[in-house]
Amino acid sequence: MQPRAKREFKDSLFEQFARIGRAVGNGHRIELLDLLAQAERSVDDLADLAGLSLANASQHLQVLRQAGLVIARREGGRVYYRLSGSEVFTLWQALRSAGEARLAEIDRVVSTYLSDRERLEQVGPDELRRRLEAGEVTLIDVRPLVESRHGRIAGAIPIPADELSRRLEELPRDRPIVAYCRGPYCVYADEAVRLLLQHGFKASRLTVGFPDWQAAGHPTEHQPEQSATAVGS
């Protein structure tokens, strides 16, 4: 390959990779990827969950779709999005890990807004799997039902955080309870553990969320996927 052709090849190649970088170079778009790692959602739902206007959410999703990170389908008058593949969540995991390792600001933000988390007992995924296999704990998924129905840790009881206070009688008191939600920065599990502790349960939170557990190859439960017609490509 001639030097000029080689340079053109490298420029063209790395520019394509840069499209991914530009697509994830926005906090709102990263949050949308985090939400879509849980389950397919409509544009309306994503806008509400991310605190965006419908128009703004649609624009961000279009950028992600053009970079090949999400896929859209239409059902009636609504458009639904999902991640285009498991490697997209892996990309978010890697970005998250790099940020945690290299940006002190992340620790400061977490310690500011999740200051009481250090007082809550935490369980890692390997330890949770051991306890589940030994029948030592009760596991609850406190994410919204639309997410836990899409997929959850095998054996988990789906009880959304906003329903937990009125469903405490469903939980056994003879063994500890572990709660989990979307990921390390999701507060649903923190809120659930605090509530359980207030009512005399022994409770702890899983340090990771369902997508991390699934990506590690641990046992999960899934409902059959709906057939869908893709919008664009």
Q: Which two tokens stand for residue 128?
A: 């949770």
In this prediction the pTM is 0.91
The packing angle between helices 54-66 and 43-50, to 10°, is 110
Q: Which helix (H) or strand (E) holds 221?
A: strand 220-221
95: burial class by Cβ within 10 Å (0-12, 13-18, 19+)? middle
Q: Tell me: domain 113-221, CATH 2.40.160.50, correct?
A: no
Q: Which residues pair with 80 in a beta bridge?
A: 42, 73
Hey, where are the domains in the chain? 3-88, 113-221
Q: What are 23-33's pLDDT values in tens digits? A: 999 999 999 99
What is the reported pLDDT for 193? 98
With a cut of 70, which residues of the chain have pLDDT below it? Answer: 223-233
Q: Tell me: domain 3-88, CATH 2.40.110.10, correct?
A: no
**Candidate list 24, 57, 61, 181, residue with the active-site label:** 181
What is the reported pLDDT for 223? 61
Q: By C-alpha distance, which of 100, 124, 89 is closest to 214?
A: 89
Residue 193's alpha-carbon distances to 80, 126, 197, in angstroms, are: 32, 20, 6
CA angle 196, 197, 203 (to 5 degrees): 75
What is the reported pLDDT for 229? 38
What is the tally of helices (H) and strands (E) in the chain?
A: 10, 11
What is the reported pLDDT for 233? 34
Residue that has been written with the tokens 């500011």 in this structure: 112
Residue type for position 203: A
Q: Is 186 considered catalytic here?
A: no
Rg (CA), the chain: 20
Q: By C-alpha distance, which of 156, 151, 160 is closest to 221?
A: 151
Q: By C-alpha distance, which of 52, 74, 222 is closest to 148?
A: 222
